[in-house]
């Protein structure tokens, strides 16, 4: 019995020994295989497969750039998604036999939809993509066999098959085409989304709204797009994806935050009128460039702004922000400044008279000339009021020499008192000194003050004042002496709700005494009724304003002309103020006949649009119903209510 038991034990131990031996053998084989995979070319191959099969990839989620609207909700600039279309010929489920079966039908469908290429060309692009994949596959196999660690660029993973970027609607359509109507891991279809900037109103207010870079991620390049880029662009998000065994899974997402929308002060109708009126006169005169700006007198809101330059093809287009960047000597529109300062200082009255004779006056070896001097007519004496009406350089120079000859600094301090030398920032990005008045001061060490600076400054030379400053000054006259800064960005919206409202900055609560203001206003009406701007007179409402004609400094001398007109309407109840400037017009330069006629055109058409009546029936007055101010809340809801109220 004991012997039998020992034999059984021995048999069991032998069996266990065999099992252990087999297990050790299998273990050694596994270790050997693992080592082979890790340390040999075959191992390299499988490591590359693993790298392809288990990948964590971060993808940037682009925010939607904010919209830019007119004051009444019309879209001036918006973003829409566009897609660049590629094929990945390494897609896991892509099969050669299926591709070859449908490539012909697919190519025909693509050529019909996107005819910039023929069906044959599309076919070649697709077949060449597959051939490239096969070539890359052979290179990978050769490298694996040789144990080479040389990288192979898989260019066939990203082959662009459509030249243009396409809309989402078009993308949905091509996903129904033969072969592309499969899941993306079989068709290899890749649609790379990007945001493109669109302008529903074309080039309307183009320079003011501005442009973005072609690569929208770089943001705004000019205009409002650049000035408010940080608000419009939004904040990027991130989506993390992991690929395991050929399947992509989203593992984390940080949502993108879309940009803010901006509502401007611009009125699409007035903007269109402004551009058309300026363009017509530039084409008529063959001028180099021009600008026109119209603003609401009491609010400071710019309703229309045109900046046109003659392009290389002879046509006119928006190039430079002329309303802000023109750094010209203003000419005769500055005479109103001179008279305002002198009257306000109590040194002259509108009735004071000065001898002008035949329009020639010599001072310190230089001649001051009036525009009529060649006529040889002796005008004798002109009052200050008449000097403004007929735009007499002689009267202006004699005013300042009499009032400030012994103290020229007092005159410039008077200009400072008005606010014309105050440095301001604007809604349009500018360079250097652009957008800032450059007016000399007697002890200025940079700009030399000569013996003739004072009289020449009185009629608009020896200083550089951009159009926006002259507009602001004349608007102050129309606005009861209160100078406010013209502006364009009105409201900031987020998800259709008002989050911030912008209002005009008050530059000067009171430019001058009330008595001075009344006298200045009377003179500006006289310019239209009796003076250099008779052609600007309207049959439908009174206008007040001043003409300007200045020679342009060039190479140490003067050549060509800059003509301008600035004024407001109706003169008895100012609603709008407008500036027009034209640079280098052909023909006889005339602030009234050239710039003034653009002003008149804009004024009368704006008048009609505001009242919705024919000019002969229209009359702007305080009884007209005005659109109520929109407080914080939903922009969309506000628009609906205003529409019901016929606004």
Judge whether residue 54 has pLDDT over 60: no
User: What does the pLDDT read at residue 361?
Assistant: 96
Q: What is the pLDDT of residues 128-177, one digit of tens each?
A: 999 999 999 999 898 888 888 888 888 888 899 999 999 999 999 999 99
Q: How confident is the model at residue 57 (pLDDT cuts 50, 70, 90)?
A: low
Q: How confident is the model at residue 28 (pLDDT cuts 50, 70, 90)?
A: low
Place of tokens 């829409």: 80
Is residue 387 within 8 Å of 338, Cβ to Cβ? no
Q: Report the alpha-carbon distance of residue 644 to residue 637 in Å, rounded.
A: 11
**Beta-sheet strands, E only, within 62-147:** 68-69, 75-87
Cα dihedral 249, 251, 256, 257 in deg (nearest 10): 140
User: What does the pLDDT read at residue 246?
Assistant: 55
Q: Is 266 strand, coil or helix?
A: coil
**Is the CATH number 3.40.710.10 carried by domain 268-611?**
yes
User: What does the pLDDT read at residue 53?
Assistant: 47
Judge whether residue 39 has pLDDT over 80: no
Which residues are within 8 A (CB) of 375 and not within 5 positions of it... i.e. 6 or more apart? 358, 359
Closest CA to 271 of 5, 609, 620, 642: 609
Judge whether residue 8 has pLDDT over 70: no
* 584-589 CB contacts, 8 Å cutoff, 24+ apart: 584/287, 584/288, 584/289, 584/552, 584/560, 585/282, 585/285, 585/286, 585/287, 585/561, 586/285, 586/286, 586/287, 587/285, 589/549, 589/561, 589/563
Per-residue H/E/C for 320-345: CCHHHHCCCCCHHHHHHHHHHHHHHC
Q: How much of the chain is helix, strand and coil, in % rounded to 5?
A: 40, 25, 35
Judge whether residue 215 has pLDDT over 80: no
Q: What is the pLDDT of residues 545-604, one digit of tens each?
A: 999 999 998 776 778 999 999 999 999 999 999 999 999 999 899 999 999 999 999 999
Judge whether residue 6 has pLDDT over 90: no
Average pLDDT over residues 400-423: 96
User: What does the pLDDT read at residue 400?
Assistant: 98
User: What does the pLDDT read at residue 7?
Assistant: 62
Q: How confident is the model at residue 238 (pLDDT cuts 50, 70, 90)?
A: confident
User: What does the pLDDT read at residue 22?
Assistant: 65
Residue ranges covered by each domain of the chain: 42-74+201-264, 78-199, 268-611
User: What does the pLDDT read at residue 334?
Assistant: 98
Q: Report the alpha-carbon distance of residue 207 to residue 491 in Å, rounded.
A: 20
Average pLDDT, the chain: 87
User: What does the pLDDT read at residue 243?
Assistant: 62
User: What does the pLDDT read at residue 483?
Assistant: 98
Strand partners, 443: none
User: What does the pLDDT read at residue 2?
Assistant: 54
Lowest-pLDDT range of 113-117, 372-376, 423-427:
372-376
Length of the chain: 647
Q: How confident is the model at residue 339 (pLDDT cuts 50, 70, 90)?
A: very high
Q: What is the pLDDT of residues 439-485, one digit of tens each?
A: 999 988 777 899 999 999 999 999 999 999 999 999 999 999 999 99
Q: What is the pLDDT of residues 493-510, one digit of tens each?
A: 999 999 999 999 999 999
Q: What is the pLDDT of residues 511-544, one digit of tens each?
A: 999 999 999 999 999 999 999 999 999 999 999 9
Judge whether residue 619 has pLDDT over 50: no
Q: What is the pTM of this model?
A: 0.79
User: Strand 381-383 relative to strand 366-369: parallel, antiparallel, unpaired?
Assistant: unpaired
User: What does the pLDDT read at residue 547?
Assistant: 98
- Give the single-character DSSP code of 587: S
User: What does the pLDDT read at residue 48?
Assistant: 53
Judge whether residue 47 has pLDDT over 80: no
Q: Report the alpha-carbon distance of residue 25 to residue 7 in Å, rounded.
A: 27
Q: What is the pLDDT of residues 341-361, one digit of tens each?
A: 999 999 999 999 999 999 999
Lowest-pLDDT range of 7-11, 201-205, 306-310:
7-11
Strand partners, 180: none
Judge whether residue 117 has pLDDT over 60: yes
User: What does the pLDDT read at residue 42?
Assistant: 53
Closest CA to 264 of 236, 310, 232: 232
CATH superfamily ID and name for 42-74+201-264: Penicillin-binding protein 2a (Domain 2) (3.90.1310.10)
User: What does the pLDDT read at residue 332?
Assistant: 97
Structure tokens, 220:
């705004």
Q: What is the pLDDT of residues 258-301, one digit of tens each?
A: 999 999 999 999 999 999 999 999 999 999 999 999 999 999 99
User: What does the pLDDT read at residue 35?
Assistant: 55
* Percent of the chain's residues with pLDDT above 90: 65
Judge whether residue 18 has pLDDT over 70: no
Judge whether residue 46 has pLDDT over 50: no
Average pLDDT over residues 317-322: 90
Lowest-pLDDT range of 47-61, 371-385, 592-606:
47-61
User: What does the pLDDT read at residue 637?
Assistant: 44
């Amino acid at each position: 019995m004991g012997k039998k038991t020992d034999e059984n034990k021995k048999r069991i131990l032998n069996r266990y020994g065999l099992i252990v031996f087999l297990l050790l053998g299998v273990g050694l084989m596994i270790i050997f295989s693992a080592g082979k995979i890790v340390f040999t070319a075959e191992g390299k191959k499988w490591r590359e497969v693993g790298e392809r099969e288990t990948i964590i990839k971060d993808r940037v989620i682009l925010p939607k750039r904010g919209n830019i609207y007119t004051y009444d909700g019309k879209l001036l600039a918006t973003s829409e998604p566009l897609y660049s279309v590629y094929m990945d010929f390494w897609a896991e489920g892509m099969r050669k036999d299926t591709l070859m079966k449908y490539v012909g039908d697919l190519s025909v469908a693509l050529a019909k939809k996107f005819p910039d290429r023929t069906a044959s060309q599309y076919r070649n692009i697709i077949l060449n993509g597959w051939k490239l994949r096969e070539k890359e596959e052979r290179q990978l196999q050769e490298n694996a066999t040789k144990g080479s660690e040389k990288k192979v660029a898989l260019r066939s993973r990203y082959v662009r098959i459509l030249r243009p970027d396409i809309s989402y609607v078009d993308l949905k359509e091509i996903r129904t085409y033969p072969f592309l109507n499969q899941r993306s891991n079989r068709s290899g279809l890749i649609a790379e989304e990007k945001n493109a900037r669109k302008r529903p109103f074309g080039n309307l207010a183009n320079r003011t709204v501005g442009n973005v870079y072609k690569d929208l991620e770089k943001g705004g390049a000019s205009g409002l797009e650049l000035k408010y880029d940080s608000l419009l662009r939004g904040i990027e998000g991130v989506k993390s994806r992991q690929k395991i065994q050929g399947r992509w899974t989203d593992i984390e997402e940080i949502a993108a935050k879309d940009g803010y929308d901006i509502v401007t002060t611009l009125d699409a109708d007035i903007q269109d009128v402004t551009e058309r009126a300026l363009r017509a006169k530039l084409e008529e005169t063959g001028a180099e460039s021009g600008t026109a700006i119209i603003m609401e007198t009491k609010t400071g809101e710019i309703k229309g702004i045109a900046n046109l330059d003659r392009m290389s093809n002879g046509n006119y287009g928006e190039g430079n922000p002329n309303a802000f960047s023109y750094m010209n000597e203003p000419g005769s529109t500055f005479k109103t400044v001179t008279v305002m300062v002198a009257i306000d200082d109590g040194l002259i009255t509108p009735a004071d008279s000065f001898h002008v004779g035949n329009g020639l006056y010599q001072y310190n070896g230089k001649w001051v000339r009036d525009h009529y001097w060649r006529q040889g007519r002796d005008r004798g004496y002109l009052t200050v009021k008449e000097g403004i009406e007929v735009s007499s350089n002689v009267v202006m120079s004699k005013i300042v020499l009499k009032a400030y000859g012994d103290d020229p600094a007092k005159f410039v301090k008077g200009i400072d008192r008005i606010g014309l030398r105050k440095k301001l920032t604007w809604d349009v990005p500018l360079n250097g000194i652009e957008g800032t008045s450059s007016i000399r001061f007697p002890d200025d060490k940079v700009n030399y003050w000569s013996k003739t600076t004072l009289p020449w400054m009185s009629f608009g030379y020896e200083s550089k004042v951009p159009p926006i400053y002259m507009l602001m000054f004349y608007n102050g006259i129309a606005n009861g002496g209160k100078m406010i800064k013209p502006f364009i960005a009105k409201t900031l919206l987020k998800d259709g709700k008002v989050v911030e409202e912008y209002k005009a900055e008050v530059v000067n609560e009171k430019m001058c005494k009330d008595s001075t203001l009344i006298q200045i206003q009377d003179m500006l009406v006289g310019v239209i009724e009796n003076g250099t701007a008779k052609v600007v007179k309207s049959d439908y409402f009174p206008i007040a304003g001043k003409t300007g004609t200045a020679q342009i400094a060039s190479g140490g001398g003067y050549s060509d002309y800059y003509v301008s007109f600035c004024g407001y309407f109706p003169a008895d109840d100012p609603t709008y103020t407008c500036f027009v400037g034209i640079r280098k017009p052909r023909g006889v330069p005339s602030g009234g006949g050239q710039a003034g006629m653009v002003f008149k055109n804009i004024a009368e058409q704006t008048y009609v649009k505001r009242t919705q009546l024919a000019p002969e029936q229209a009359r702007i007055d305080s009884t007209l119903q005005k659109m109520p101010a929109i407080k914080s809340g939903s922009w969309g809801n506000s628009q609906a209510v205003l529409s019901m109220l016929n606004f």
